[in-house]
Amino acid sequence: MNVTVAIDCMGGDHGAHVTVPAALNVMRRDPDTAFILVGQRDAIERELARLNAAADMRLQIEHASEMVEMDESAAAALRKKKDSSIRVGVNLVKEGRADAFVSAGNTGALMAISRFVLKTLPGVERPAIASILPTLKGHTYVLDLGANVDCTPEHLLQFGIMCAELVTSVEHKERPTVGLLNIGVEDIKGNELVKRAAELMRASGLNFYGYVEGDDIYKGTTDIVVCDGFVGNVALKTSEGLAQMLATYLREEFGRNLFARLAGLAALPVINAFKRRTDHRRYNGASLLGLCGIVVKSHGSADTFAFEYAIRRAVEEARSGVLAHITERMAAIQKSAA
């Protein structure tokens, strides 16, 4: 299926230097994709020239005169920057000129603008941010990762339903298992939010596994782990911090003296295989789920390799028909509840 993806070329730590080559790489490898590069025309054209490329039918430029800063408040970005690269990109999805939008920019602004412009799918109360994390068994989807800091049990149920449709659509996995993140697996454990959410999930027709704990994320106990955005964000950031600390320690130990450096040389292919396997860049690209349109958030520090993964995720979602599937499912639930 032909897919057109709008790319925020200004967002993230590296802007056009990362986003433009990433788009070119995906375009060259996947003949059924086209791109609209959104941002300051000069900067994008300079980057294309540097890469010996030029705009054409499959590679258009859409000028945007403004940029949302990484520390700008979502409300200010929404109200004041009507010509930001995020706003223009989301508008392209709204107008049907693009099938998806990818940005490495300010997460809060991206969510606020997407929600304001695209609106949520029928029946969806709150959009959520879903990301993929590596596990001992493969990978797991975790949501919400920070869009919603105060959730109701109904929100958590909807996150589970939306993400189950995403996994079924993109991975062709029927009835993926859904775990609810808690601080114990016994029924009596947890706060009121998770206890009530568990009741709703049990009655929902979801393939509800029950409670899972933090370590179940990386064990790969369930296909999906649902939690509120505060808890999910802390779990994600804590993981990033721990991984960075361990990587630093490993580097320091292999650089400690001549013997360690020689051992490091001998072990280099093994260490590299380990690094490839745990490379978080291959999991880059979080889905803003529940909107009338596909929006994917890349990590702000993404390099070209990582940003390509975010683009490919947007392409996959656009081809999967996930929006129709979520809409159908929400309608079926509302009908059975009526």
Chain residues that interact with a copy of itself, rule: CB under 8 A: 71, 73, 134-136, 146, 149-150, 181, 183, 186, 188, 190-192, 213-219, 227, 229-231, 233-246, 248-250, 253-254, 256, 259-260, 262-264, 266-267, 269-271, 273-274, 277-278
Nearer to a copy of itself, 2 or 238 (CB): 238
Q: Tell me whether strands 294-297 and 286-289 are parallel, antiparallel or unpaired.
A: antiparallel
> 122: closest CA among 326, 337, 335?
326
> What DSSP letter does each residue of 123-181 carry, written as one string?
T----EEEEEEE-SSSEEEEE-SSS-SS--HHHHHHHHHHHHHHHHHHH--SS-EEEEE
Query: Shortest approach of a copy of itself to residue 180 CB, angstroms?
Result: 12
Nearer to a copy of itself, 56 or 215 (CB): 215
Q: How far apart are CA 150 and CA 89, in angstroms?
A: 28
Nearer to a copy of itself, 125 or 150 (CB): 150
Nearer to a copy of itself, 71 or 95 (CB): 71
Query: Shortest approach of a copy of itself to residue 308 CB, angstroms?
Result: 23
Query: Shortest approach of a copy of itself to residue 27 CB, angstroms?
Result: 33
Length in residues, the chain: 338
Cα first-last separation, the chain: 36
> 75: closest CA among 104, 107, 108?
108
Q: How far apart are CA 108 and CA 156, in angstroms?
A: 20
Nearer to a copy of itself, 2 or 244 (CB): 244
Query: Shortest approach of a copy of itself to residue 190 CB, angstroms?
Result: 6
Query: Shortest approach of a copy of itself to residue 73 CB, angstroms?
Result: 6
Cα 95–chain centre separation: 22
Nearer to a copy of itself, 162 or 217 (CB): 217
Query: Shortest approach of a copy of itself to residue 283 CB, angstroms?
Result: 13
